[in-house]
Amino acid sequence: MLFHLLPPLADVNTVFNVFVYITFRAAGAVVTSLLIAFALGPMVIRKLQTANVGQVVRDIGPDSHMGKAGTPTMGGLIMIGAAAFSTLLWAELTNPYTIVALVSLVWMGGIGFLDDYLKVVQGKTRGLVARYKMVGQWTFGLALGAFLLWNPISPHPTTWTTVPFFSDYAAVFAAPVFVLFTGAVVSGSSNAVNLTDGLDGLAAGLTAISAATLGVFAYIAGRVDTSSYLGFFYLPGAGELTIFAVALAGAAVGFLWFNAHPAQVFMGDTGSLALGGALGVMAILLKAEFLLVIVGGVFVLETLSVAAQVTWFKYTRRRYGEGRRIFRMSPLHHHFEQLGWPETKVVVRFWILGVLFAMLAISTLKIR
């Protein structure tokens, strides 16, 4: 909004020219989303407590988590509200990257909100049945793929995507495969964050790291000089995605103020599906889908731990008549809890891993 309103006033005072620069608006966006999250947090928590919207803790998790039952959930509304408002305030609202990113945040958050509402408010322990959640995620992912095919928003072929560590190569998909690929990325990323959201502050902190890292790539992709020098796809207009990325990171950090151990509020599926979906969509728009595997390395490890545990358990039960486990408990963060690590130690060490994965992702710009 400010991008459209204030630069024309440069004739009155040249200071208004600063609202043209992405770096200035990105700084404004991250601070704004952080402050909005600080302001919204207490109000939303009180509303959730009044409405008795408390977390349902299933008995399949660690025993130490049973004391978290009843903690307000659906706190993802704080992050969605902060990130969306900050983006609307600071970003170029006619930019297709901005529009698609905002729609993805709201759409995936809506799916998560419906799931939380059914579980917590209406008492349906299964919430929105998994296959219906998958339908909602895949519907958006497939629709996004089709939209990008019919309405290209970059000068590069829509079905091309970058390959980490190789500046002279690109992965090329057939059109139908590309549509399926976008569906898989959106669904996979949203569910990966959802699986990781099991400890106080874990998913919020990792999301802030991942979003900020994608913001760096968005800024690079939007500059013809920097993208050319680093061998990254030049995507005119993609720089505006920096605003959304840092707004999302700021909202996650602001939410972390209330979600740090011991958590006053949980993000619920409302937050985890929205955050994961937004990360996946940013990667698609930046043609960095494979890079997302590195940026969100901890999310990938969490997801693989669940897949490996379930697959091995089913195989051994069929083969030996008794299911066996690879990990003491999955997702991976629960395994380390079962080894005796305090929850806070698991979270901080996973954040450190998240930073290392982010540094590795940024290093791909030079290691080619």
CB of 75 closer than 8 Å to CB of 68: no
> What is residue 124's predicted lDDT score, i.e. its pLDDT?
62
Q: Are 329 and 306 in contact (CB under 8 A)?
A: no
* 301 domain residue, yes or no: no
| Reported confidence tier of residue 130, pLDDT bands at 50, 70, 90 | confident
> Is residue 336, in this structure, part of any structural domain at all?
no
Residue 328 belongs to a domain: no
Q: Which of 126-130, 211-215, 275-279, 305-309 has the lowest mean pLDDT?
A: 126-130
The answer to whether residue 300 is domain-embedded is: no
Residue 42 lies in a domain: yes
What pLDDT, on a 0 to 100 scale, did the predictor assign at position 329? 92
Q: Is 222 exposed, middle or buried (0-12, 13-18, 19+ CB in 10 A)?
A: buried
- Domain that includes residue 187, residue range: 2-294
Helix (H) or strand (E) segment spanning residue 271: helix 268-285
CA-CA distance, 212 to 286, in Å (whole number)? Answer: 14
- What is the per-residue pLDDT across 146-174, written as a single tens digit (0 to 9) for each? 999 999 998 888 999 999 988 888 899 99
CA-based R_g, the chain, Å:
21
CB atoms within 10 A of CB 31: 15
Q: Tell me what percent of the residues of the chain surpass a pLDDT of 70.
A: 94
Evaluate whether residue 136 is within a structural domain.
yes
Single out the residue of 277, 248, 253, 205 nearest to residue 80, CA to CA: 248
What is the C-alpha separation between 58 and 68, in angstroms, rounded?
11
What pTM was computed for the model? 0.94
For the four alpha carbons of 361, 362, 363 and 365, in that order, the dihedral sign comes to positive
Q: What is the pLDDT of residue 99?
A: 96
On whether the CB atoms of residues 288 and 343 are closer than 8 A, the answer is: no
Asked if residue 278 belongs to a domain, the reply is yes
Provide the domain count of the chain: 1
- What DSSP string describes 311-348? HHHHHHHHHHSS---SSSSSSHHHHHHHTT--HHHHHH
pLDDT at 58 over 90: no
Residue 293 structure tokens: 């595997």
Tens of pLDDT, residues 313-335: 999 999 988 889 999 999 999 99
Is residue 51 one of the residues assigned to a domain? yes
